[in-house]
Chain A
C-alpha cells in the first residue's frame, strides 16, 4: 500500500506542476481554453492525491494525519481542494493560477519530509486527533485561498492594464467578498480546530489550555482573522487594510505550522 502511495504521490506532484505551468501559460497567452485544461489537470491531481492519502491510511492502519509529512501532504490537499471549490464556484481561473504555486510549494515541502510510518505514542491515540487535524486542514486551505485572493486584490490596485486580466479578475468589491467568504470558512474551521484540540488536551494532558507555543500561535492567528472581520465592516477600512490583515493572518498560519516547531519547542513539537 505504501509503495502505491509513493507512486501516486509522484504522479500528484507532476500533475500539480503541469497544472501550475498551464495556468501560467494561460495568463501569458490569454487563451481561456488553457485555463480549462489546467483545471482538469488540477482535478485529476486532487483525485490521485485523495487516493494517495487513502492508501497511506490503509497502509498505516490509521488516519494519515499524525506527522510532519502527513500533515504537509494533507495541507497541500486541503489547499488544492478549497482553491478548486472557489475557482469553480466563482468562475475565477486566475485564482487557480495564483493558488497552484502555493499548493505546489506545500507538496514540495511534504516531499522533503520523512515518509516513514511510525506507531503512535499513547497521547496521540485519540479520535479527537482526527477531528483536530482534519479541521485544521480545511482551515489552512481556506486561509491559503484568502491569502492568494488578498495578493490578487493588492496587485489589482496596482494594475494599469484594462483588458484580459481586468475581465478575468472580479472588481474590488467582489474580490473582497470572495476573500471574506474564504476567511469565514477558515476562521470557522480554525475555531473547530482549537476547540477539538482543547478537548483532546483536556483528556490527554489534563489541561485544555496551557499556553504551549503552538496553542498560543493558533490563538494569535485566530485573533488576527477576527480583527480582519472587524476591519472589513468598518467603513473606509474594507479593501486594502483588510487584505493586508489577511496576508498577515496567513503568515501567522505558516508560523504556527512550521515556525513554532522550529523556534519554539513545546508539547506539540512532535507534530
Chain B
C-alpha cells in the first residue's frame, strides 16, 4: 500500500512533470525531423533499409499518432490532474492566510522605526490595510494584494488539461469531407445525407493578375425523406479565411483547379457531355468498362522534347488536355490533346472543351474545437495570473514607543520586492524625520 501511495505521489510530482516535458519536447522534434506519413520504400530510399525498419517499428512515420506519443500525453494529463487535485486544498488555505493577521514568518523582509505605516503601504502601492490585534494585544495592520495570483499555476495547468482533452477528443471524433465541382454541380457530402451545390465560383484578380481572393457561393441541403417534404436548404458564401457554418459543419474554400467538358459521340451521334475536374474521370454511358481520365490540364501549354508537359502561366493562352483511356484496368492510350483534336476509340469519339476553374470545398465537423480553444484561453489567463499578479502581503506592528515595525512577503518578488520594500522604508523614515 505504501509503495502504491509513493508511486501516485511521484506521478503527480513536479519532478515527473519535468521529465515528461523534456520527453515531449524530444518526441515533437523527432516527429518534425522525420518526414511523416511515407512508406517503408520511401524511407529506405531516403535513408537506408535499416533506418527505414527502425522508423516503421517505432512508428516514427506517424509520430504524433503513435502509441508512445499518446502515452506521454496520457501521463502528462494524469500528472497535471493529480497535481491540481492535491494542491487544491493547500491553495485555498494559503489564499485565506493572505488576509489573516499573522506575524512575519518565512520569506519576509522587515524594517524598523516607521512612523506612518499607512503612507508606507501607499508607497508600496498596497491597498488600504485592515486594522487588527495580534494575540498579545499589540496593534497590527495587514494589507495584501493579488491573492488571485496564487492561482496562476493551478489555472494554467487546468487550461493545459482542457486543451489536451479538447484536442484529443477532436482527433478521435472529427469528420472531414471534400466536395468539388464547377458552378451548377451538386455533390454528396460523404455519408452525411447532405448535398452541396456550387452556385458560383469567382477568382478575384488584382491588376497584376495575382490572386486576391477565391470566393464560392454554396447551397447545402438535406435530401428529403419522403417526396412530399421540401428539402431543408441553406446557403452561404465562403472564401479563404472566411469559412461558413451550416448544419453544424464548417465549410472552407480550400483550393481550386481546372475542369473541362468532356463530350462523347457514338457513330457521330451525341452520347454524353459532362464537366470533369482534372484528376477525375468519365465513364462511357453505354460501356461502363471504358473510362476516360482527364489527368491534367495545361492552360498555357508548352511542349519541349524530352520533358514533361508544362504550363507557362495560369492564363488560357494555349489550352491542352492530358488524358488517358482505360478499358477495365488496361490502359489503351495516353496523350496530350489540343482543343480542336479528338480521340477515337472504336465507334466512340471523345473531345475536350470549355476549360473552367472548379472549386474544392473542405467540410469539417469537430465538436471539440471549442474545448481546445477554451483550454488555450484558460492557459493564457493562468499565465497572466502567475506572472503579472504577484501576491504581496505587508504587515505593520505597533511598538511600545509608538513607531511601527513593518514586514512584507512576496514569494515571487524575491530580491526585487525586497529592494522596493527597503527603499519605501527609507523614504518613510526620511519623510517623517
Q: Which residues of A contact B (CB under 8 A)?
A: 119, 121-123, 125-126, 170-171, 173-174, 177-178, 184-185, 187-188, 191-192, 194-195, 198-200, 202-209, 211, 213, 216-217, 219-220, 223-224, 226-227, 230-231, 233-234, 260, 264
A171 touches B18 (CB 8 A): no
- CB atoms of B17 and A230 under 8 A apart: yes
* Chain B 25-61 residues near chain A, CB threshold 8 A: 25, 28-29, 31-33, 36
Question: How far is the CB of B176 from the nearest CB of chain A, in Å?
Answer: 8
| Closest residue on chain B to residue A199 by CB atoms | B373
Contacts of B191 in A (CB 8 A): none
Question: B271 at interface (Cβ–Cβ under 8 A)?
Answer: no
Cα A227 to Cα B19 with chains together (Å):
9
- Tell whether, in the assembled complex, residue A188 and residue B211 are in contact, meaning their CB atoms are under 8 Å apart: no
Cβ B380 vs Cβ A206 within 8 A: no
Point out the residues of chain B lying under 8 angstroms from A194, CB to CB: 376
Given A192-B380, A204-B241, A223-B28, A173:B415 Cβ within 8 A: yes
B210: contacting residue among A119, A184, A209, A260, CB under 8 A: A119
A16 to chain B, nearest CB (A): 29
Which residues of A are found within 8 Å of B212, using beta-carbon distances?
Answer: 119, 122, 125
B24 lies within 8 A of chain A by Cβ? yes
Residues of A within 8 A of B373 (CB): 195, 198-199, 208
A206–B364 touching, CB < 8 Å? yes
User: Chain B CB within 10 Å — which of A123, A195, A206 has the most?
Assistant: A206
Q: How far is the CB of A166 from chain B (nearest CB, A)?
A: 16
The answer for the CA separation of A227 and B20 in the assembled complex, in Å, is: 10
14 contacts between A and B (CB under 8 A): A122-B239, A125-B240, A177-B415, A191-B376, A191-B379, A191-B383, A208-B372, A208-B373, A211-B36, A220-B32, A223-B24, A227-B21, A234-B15, A264-B33
- Are the CB atoms of A121 and B211 closer together than 8 Å? yes
Closest residue of B by beta carbon distance from A222: B25
Query: Does the CB pair A264–B387 fall under 8 Å?
Result: no
Expressed in whole angstroms, the Cα–Cα distance for A85 and B64 within the complex equals: 40
Chain A nearest CB: distance from B61 CB in Å?
13
Check A126/B241 contact, CB under 8 A, given A174-B415, A223-B25, A230-B21: yes
Least Cβ–Cβ distance between B24 and chain A, in angstroms: 6
CA distance A178 to B380 in the complex (A): 21
* Interface range on chain B (Cβ under 8 Å from partner): 35 or more
Interface string of B236-262 (1 = CB under 8 A from A): 000111110000001010100000000
Complex Cα gap A198–B374 (Å): 12
Main secondary structure of the interface of B (DSSP, over half): helix
Q: Does B22 contact A (CB under 8 A)?
A: yes
Nearest residue (CB) in A for B33 is: A264
Check: B369 CB closer than 8 A to any chain A CB: yes
**In the complex the two chains form, is A206's CB within 8 Å of B254's CB?**
yes
The answer to whether A122 touches B214 (Cβ under 8 A) is yes
**Chain A residues whose C-beta falls within 8 Å of the C-beta of B362 in the assembled complex:** 206
Chain B residue at minimal CB-CB distance from A192: B380
Closest 4 CB pairs of A and B: A122-B240, A184-B387, A206-B252, A223-B25
Bound Cα distance from A209 to B167, whole angstroms: 9
Inter-chain CA distance A123–B32, complex, in Å, is 23
Answer whether A177 and B206 are a contact pair too, CB < 8 Å, given A203-B241, A226-B21, A227-B22.
no
Which interface residue of B211, B241, B376 has the most chain A CB atoms within 10 A?
Answer: B241
> A168 to nearest B CB, angstroms?
16
Give CA–CA (A56, B174) in the complex, Å. Answer: 42
Rounded to whole angstroms, the CA-CA distance of A185 and B383 in the bound complex is 9
Question: Is B384's CB within 8 Å of the partner chain A?
Answer: yes
Given known pairs A119-B208, A195-B377, A208-B369, the reply for A125 and B241 (CB within 8 Å) is yes
Q: Do B31 and A123 touch (CB < 8 A)?
A: no
List, in ascending order, chain A residues with CB within 8 A of B25's CB: 220, 223-224, 227
Bound form: Cα–Cα A227–B76 in Å: 13
Give Cα A178–Cα B21 distance, bound, in whole angstroms.
24
A209 to B372 Cα, complex, angstroms = 10
Give the chain B neighbours of A203 by CB distance below 8 A.
Answer: 241-243
User: Which residue in chain B gives the minimum CB-CB distance to A200?
Assistant: B241
Contact B379 A202 (CB under 8 A): no
**Interface contact A206-B250, CB-CB below 8 Å:** yes
Closest-CB distance, B377 to chain A (whole angstroms): 7
A263 to chain B, nearest CB (A): 8
